[in-house]
Structure 1
Amino acid sequence: MALRLAGESTAEPVTDLRDAAWFDGLFAQHATAIHRYFVRRAQHSDIEDLSAEVFATAWRRRDKVPEGFELPWLYRTASYVLANHRRKPTLTLLADYESGHDDERASRSVDPAELVMADDEVRRAMARLSARDRTILMLHAWEGLDGEGLARALGLTRGGAAAALSRARARLREAWEHDH
């Protein structure tokens, strides 16, 4: 029988409880949401790899995934994975620019507002916002996060996230009114 020091916990570490069955449940519950997150933000050819990286990170850091706030944690991880992916140098072939179609080149944008919004007025208003404001608005409107979930995804307090959302909405309103 092992001796326990005063104050030593007898509870199992979180990592021991987060086994393959835990991961399978996490994946089954949230894979579609993470896939959709990337559909709205990345090129089609990168979506599967980016999604896989998020879940690989979740497995490696499973002891850090907060109980009850798994999806906001996954969204935050997805934002880091996407940011790292965008920083990687890419090779653009000269042949890609010889087609002469400006519309094709414009569709290669990685700006989330341009990737998913066809409405020119909305695109113009969103383009006037900072990347942070766009992220906050998209996490709220498209991913359905608010309150504690939005706070966790942004790495802020609940009050900080509410204030950031309020400011982002106000700036979107200003940008929208600028066009009208």
Structure 2
Amino acid sequence: MSSEERFRRLYAVNFEALLAFASRRVEQPEDAADVVAETFLVAWRRNGDLPADDEVRLWLYGVARRVLANHYRGGTRRDRLGERLRQRLAVVASADPGHDVPQRLVVREALKLLSETDREILMLTAWEGLEPREVAAVIGASPVVVRTRLSRARKRMRDLVGHDQETPGHVLDVLTVPVPKEG
């Protein structure tokens, strides 16, 4: 019997038992399917090293246990990372000066009317605080091109939101944040 035929038989004989094994140890059925798939992937990769037929099921259970251990560790890491991210987002959201600008919707609508490149250059400069040379590295352009595009994008944005700086909550100051000095 070829190694492929042996693997097919191994899969057919052990799939349901391994799925039941994994299902009893995870919360979501999708996770059990992932564990079984990973277990058989290991078996496929190690097809030449598989034990004799009477020991192969036990070997598969051992592989499945290690896959489950990795699954649990990964889940714990994801949960911790998710919690840190939620905490960080809460801080960032509460500290976002955009929430205090009464006309933020006007700014967002105006941004939508700009080209994608102009919008990205403005946002990277004003909101992320990047210098033109840093923006150039992010978007893959030269700093000279970025400075020119930034100047033009600011003008287009001023044209879209207006020039009346006497209006309370005017958003022009948000758009004309001084560009940090380079170097």
Length-normalised TM-score, structure 1: 0.40
Larger Rg computed on CA atoms: 2
Higher helix proportion, which one?
2
Higher relative contact order (CA 8 A, sep 6+): 1
